[in-house]
Amino acid sequence: RARRLDGATANARTIERNRTRVMDTVPPTATAYPRLGDRESRAPWTNVDCTAPAGYDAATWRARVELAGAYQLCDRFAFNEGVCNHLTVLVPGASDRFLCAPYGLAWSEVTASNLVMIDVKGNVIEGRGEIDATAFFIHLAIHQAGHACVLHTHMPYASALCCVERFELAMCHQNSLRFADDIAYDPAFNGLVLDNTEGDRLVSVMGDKRVLMHKHHGVIVCGASVAEAFDDLYYLERAAEVQVIAMSTGSPLCTISKEIGEQFRRDMESDGGKARWAQLHYDARLRELARDDWRKHFAQDKRIMHPYEDRVMFPAAH
């Protein structure tokens, strides 16, 4: 028995020494998000191949792959409705062209190559098909306001919060804190967005916020990249889901203090903000798609069609 006690004591001391070794690297009040392990080592995984077809701009092809992945992921998580809703991203290095899925495709059919590139006048530059008018007028206005990626969906839980009298995302869960002071609420539903006037109005309501919750309608999420916008879209729906379930109990929501919310934001920003977390999350989701036999085609077909001629624009003919 004495030996067993001595062994237990020795083990406890070893654990404490290891804990002390780790905690010595972390300030008592952390000013930077602590990272454990070798942050310089190469990640033990291989991300999705984003090699562009011959003659095609590499950055634009990556944008195509990432946006097609967003369509596939939204379909997988049931964030979309039929062939409606729309996701767009600016062409890298341009402010007057963006990518979007052609209207009529199921989102499970969207690939990097069948996205269309459209200009500010509605002309299709690459790919084939038409763009839904509401997609054009909503997304054009928001892109022109400076947002690189714009995702609009009617995902169920966030949309449900847009259909109650007091429509708001309550700061009642850790995921909710990601959106503290970063959501605009639009109580005016004017039907379909079919002109620049309503698109411009939505932009004015959004202001400098990244998320818009539109009453009786759905949500718009903006980001500096597809990864950041999708990460916010995903966690917005998860936060809304928790809130709706909590509200269904009939018990009042218990919200988190503003002080804790502000500390959460500081801690998050000390690790590179949401940009780093979003890219890690998004890369992992794209790898999942690449392993899915029903969805892996999203990045594989590299034939971009001419919009008005029956020929392939890229890969370039030799």
Question: CA-based Rg of the chain, rounded to a whole angstrom?
Answer: 23
Neighbours of 205 (CB within 10 A): 16
CB 179, CB 211: distance < 8 Å:
yes
| 8 A C-beta contact, residue 83 and residue 71 | no
pLDDT band at residue 188 using 50, 70 and 90 as cut-offs = very high
Which residues make beta-bridge pairs with 219?
A: 153, 213
In this predicted model, what pLDDT tens digit does every residue of 223-277 receive, in sequence order? 999 999 999 999 999 999 999 999 999 999 999 999 999 999 888 888 776 888 9
Euclidean distance between CA atoms 142 and 136, whole angstroms = 10
Q: How many CB atoms lie within 10 A of CB 83?
A: 15
Residue pair 219/225 in contact (Cβ under 8 Å)? The answer is no
Contacts of residue 237, defined as CB under 8 A and 6 or more positions apart, other chains included, come to: 77, 79, 155, 156, 157, 158
What tokens were used for 28? 């008592």
- The model carries a pTM of 0.87
pLDDT of residue 30: 52
Query: Both tokens of residue 10?
Result: 């020795």
47-84 pLDDT tens trace: 999 999 999 999 999 999 999 999 999 999 999 999 99
Question: SS3 for 24?
Answer: coil
Residue spans of alpha helices (H) in 218-297: 226-248, 258-269, 273-291
Token pair listed for 227: 């990864």
- Given a contact cutoff of 8 angstroms between Cβ atoms, the answer to whether 128 and 103 are in contact is no
Q: What is the mean pLDDT of residues 194-222?
A: 94
